[in-house]
Structure 1
Amino acid sequence: MSNRPASIAVLGAGFAGLSTIRALRKRDPGAEITLVAPRAELHYLPGIIWIPSGLRKREDLVIALDGFLRRQGVRFHAAEVTGLADGGRTVQTTAGGLANDALVIATGGRFIKKLPGIEHAITPCEGIAAAERIRDRLRDLQGGTIAVGFAGNPNEPSAMRGGPMFEFLFVIDQQLRREGRRDRFELVFFNPSKEPGNRLGPKAVKFLLAEMARRGIRTHLGHKMQRFEADKVVTEGGEFSADLILFMPGMTGNAWFDATELPRSAGGLIQADAHCRVPGFDKVYVAGDSGSFPGPDWMPKQAHMADLQAAAAAANLLGDLAGKRSSDTFQVELMCIVDAIDQGTLVWRTPQRNLLLPSTRLFHWAKRGFEWKYLRQYR
């Protein structure tokens, strides 16, 4: 170790993985860093809410990382991860094994697809292709019922993505109004909770439900999901017809985790401590959606949280490599702008505060400005 740079493997080219690389390189210009991912691309998923309206296209949201990796002096290992060996010191991939002195797991999560008939629903956050399907279906529909909903992982309260579904709901409503077609559609929001969005805070729940009422969006709340059919949503509290179903299930860990001895939470994510270390594994860290972290049950699975965890993981990794056990942690903070094409609502939550600022055009443009600034560092 003393005669060569430390070899660090970062798994995943999403928010957590790329933020880890930036934090590592800022602190250690000489570290040998290798990124492992199927493609050297960042898919900026927060922007997919604007694909159905045409405000964004695929090419706006897929960022080639060749230039970023070259500037950062990072090697790229094009492969899918299949497992770990030697206590994490070897990453097993579809392109062979990769040795490392320290490892950061940031491969995200996967959606739980166990609900019967879920193939009849589109899961937006699966990626850009899903948003394009929504765009095309909306274009072809002449009228009918559009159902939008989400659920969670009962064993992992934080493993859900509700925010984007509120955005798709309001964006579609506004888009149909712009097109002069809103009167031909019924929009229905469904959720097993009676207080959807409660992870955003009590103020947000009241705002979201009031906004749905103002927009004439019907709600079907407080009933456990049973199944989907090609033209129907079925819950324990009744069923309703739907011509287009958008549904975000809860999240769990990647399938490749099952091929390892990594400690897992009840919800299937990698167990982590407050410093992003994986207990029982030397110099193995986790950041972003892959991890189950100590903290409040409203801790979000979002890019901002992944960035904060990545910074802590990078600091502790370099400290551990240097033999100086560090204890950096991360602030638990939920920050989002719930957008509706031409206006947005700011929601901010920490353990101490919960703030909601009403819809304005300013927040819509702030969200677009943040996207430009965030992506600029990778272009």
Structure 2
Amino acid sequence: MQGITIIGAGFAALAAIRSLRRRGVQLPITVIAPRDELHYLPSSIWLAPGLRRAAQLRIPLGTFFRRHQVQYIQASVTGLREGGRVVQTDQGEHANSQLLIASGGRFLRGLPGIEHAYIPCAGLESAEAIASRLQSMKGGTIAVGFSTNPAEQGAMRGGPMFEYLFIIDSWLRQQGRRDQFQLLFFSPSPRPGARLGEQAVDGLLAEMKRRDIATHLGHPLVRFEADKVVTPAGSLHADLILFMPGITGPAWLADSGLPLSPGGMIEADAYCQVPGHPGVWVAGDAGSFPGPAWLPKQAHQADLQAQAAAANIAAELAGQTARQPFKAELVCIVDTLGAGMLVYRSERRNIVLPALWPLHWLKRGFEWFYLRPLR
């Protein structure tokens, strides 16, 4: 029998591997990804103030793969054949009996002039470039914003941009240089961060006002220029632009034969299975899932989807029916460098705690807890 193939080596992939082995699945597992490292991007927000170095956030996965008896293939996926039973890569083809797509998504870069903006979550290299630029600036205007996929409103990642905004403000204040800078937050949404809940949005906007951060909200983005954010309501001067665009699926999905959502991601059901494609599953940013409108694109949700997919793969291998739906849950600590705001949301509850210093340390502690088994 062919084994299990997992596309990707990020949060969802690692969660699936652990869950499969814990459930006693002994079938060979193959991971196909361009690198055998986890880049722990949640902590890249701390590169500029010097709390972290990029080298600390590049976690080699060789030991983890050996411990879980995983074969790693360094390659980039280019497509699928036979309904997903064969994965095509730039290094050859690989057959499977179960396929989990956990490759993550990609950022939409179609906005004119987007090359003038830094995209923080594009990778550690981008985060390093942002840190270097911030450390070299003597003053000026820093514009921070995000948008979504216009064809799929939930396909966004806005939380890190709030963190960059508040961390930059705190860091400049610590250095006694805040009066030399203007901070601006922009978004096409009149109430950015709505997936966190109305109370959270009120808190975020109030925090911006308290920190004397200007806002430009509710106006669509037209283009970026080297020193401008252009909207129909006017041009905003900016010496540095940090921008998180909306998310879509990997480019190779166009020729995969899989059903795609309007936003270009793989359609999935509540069990993380791809409809009409037995033995094909998806977890994380590459998928479009049923659920509440606030369903997040974040590592925690990717982990929950991967765990459900693993449970259902194990069930199918045992001759049972997939019956484990993924849990819809948003957990976020919006860090401000010295404190953090906690947001929790489920189908039943929406809890928001104001910025408290223990939450900053809780976020740092979670990084240690998560990475310790991988080192």
- Return the TM-score normalized by structure 1: 0.98
Provide the alpha-carbon RMSD of the alignment. 0.8
1:171 alignment counterpart: 167
Q: Do structure 1's residue 68 and structure 2's residue 50 form an aligned pair?
A: no
Q: CA offset at residue 323 of structure 1?
A: 1.9
Q: CA offset at residue 345 of structure 1?
A: 0.7
Separation of aligned partners in 2, 1:82 and 1:321: 27
Secondary structure of the structure 2 residue equivalent to 1:319? helix
1:341 alignment counterpart: 337
Bigger CA drift: 154-163 or 219-228?
154-163
Q: Do structure 1's residue 95 and structure 2's residue 91 form an aligned pair?
A: yes
2:113 alignment counterpart: 117
Q: CA offset at residue 29 of structure 1?
A: 4.5
1:264 alignment counterpart: 260
Q: Which of 125, 131, 139 in structure 2 is aligned with 1:143?
A: 139
Separation of aligned partners in 2, 1:297 and 1:257: 24
Output the amino acid matched with 1:116.
P
Separation of aligned partners in 1, 2:178 and 2:112: 30
2:188 alignment counterpart: 192
Q: CA offset at residue 297 of structure 1?
A: 1.5
Q: Do structure 1's residue 27 and structure 2's residue 23 form an aligned pair?
A: yes
Whether the aligned pair in 2 keeps the contact of 1:157 and 1:298 (CA below 8 Å) is no
Whether the aligned pair in 2 keeps the contact of 1:159 and 1:301 (CA below 8 Å) is yes
Q: CA offset at residue 202 of structure 1?
A: 0.3
Q: CA offset at residue 238 of structure 1?
A: 1.3
Q: What pairs up with 1:228-243 in 2 under 5 angstroms?
A: 228-243=224-239
Whether the aligned pair in 1 keeps the contact of 2:117 and 2:243 (CA below 8 Å) is yes
Deviations 1:257-298 (A, max 9, x none): 112111000000000000000011110000000100001111
Whether the aligned pair in 1 keeps the contact of 2:167 and 2:337 (CA below 8 Å) is yes
Separation of aligned partners in 2, 1:223 and 1:202: 20
Deviations 1:75-105 (A, max 9, x none): 1111111111111111111111111110000
Separation of aligned partners in 2, 1:174 and 1:129: 23
Secondary structure of the structure 2 residue equivalent to 1:91? strand
Output the amino acid matched with 1:78.
Q
Separation of aligned partners in 2, 1:137 and 1:103: 41
2:37 alignment counterpart: 41
Q: Which of 77, 83, 95 in structure 1 is aligned with 2:73?
A: 77
Q: What pairs up with 1:266-285 in 2 under 5 angstroms?
A: 266-285=262-281
1:290 alignment counterpart: 286
1:152 alignment counterpart: 148
2:158 alignment counterpart: 162
Whether the aligned pair in 1 keeps the contact of 2:25 and 2:314 (CA below 8 Å) is no
Separation of aligned partners in 2, 1:190 and 1:320: 47
Count matched residues: 375
Whether the aligned pair in 2 keeps the contact of 1:41 and 1:62 (CA below 8 Å) is yes
Output the amino acid matched with 2:246.
G
Separation of aligned partners in 2, 1:347 and 1:13: 27
Separation of aligned partners in 1, 2:25 and 2:281: 20
Secondary structure of the structure 1 residue equivalent to 2:374? coil
- Show structure 1 runs of 5+ residues with no match: none
Whether the aligned pair in 1 keeps the contact of 2:12 and 2:305 (CA below 8 Å) is yes
Deviations 1:188-228 (A, max 9, x none): 00001111111100000000000000001000011000000
Secondary structure of the structure 1 residue equivalent to 2:285? helix
Q: CA offset at residue 113 of structure 1?
A: 0.4
Secondary structure of the structure 1 residue equivalent to 2:6? strand
Output the amino acid matched with 2:118.
I
Separation of aligned partners in 2, 1:113 and 1:331: 31
Identity within the alignment, %: 59
Separation of aligned partners in 1, 2:25 and 2:229: 54
Separation of aligned partners in 1, 2:28 and 2:56: 31
Q: Do structure 1's residue 225 and structure 2's residue 221 form an aligned pair?
A: yes
Whether the aligned pair in 1 keeps the contact of 2:271 and 2:323 (CA below 8 Å) is yes
Separation of aligned partners in 2, 1:178 and 1:328: 48
1:8 alignment counterpart: 4
Q: Do structure 1's residue 209 and structure 2's residue 176 form an aligned pair?
A: no
Q: CA offset at residue 28 of structure 1?
A: 2.3
Q: Which of 282, 296, 302 in structure 2 is aligned with 1:306?
A: 302
Separation of aligned partners in 1, 2:335 and 2:317: 42
Separation of aligned partners in 2, 1:175 and 1:355: 28
Separation of aligned partners in 2, 1:98 and 1:311: 24
Q: CA offset at residue 377 of structure 1?
A: 1.4
Separation of aligned partners in 1, 2:43 and 2:165: 15
Whether the aligned pair in 1 keeps the contact of 2:185 and 2:213 (CA below 8 Å) is yes
Q: CA offset at residue 322 of structure 1?
A: 2.3
Output the amino acid matched with 1:126.
A
Secondary structure of the structure 2 residue equivalent to 1:306? helix
Output the amino acid matched with 1:315.
A
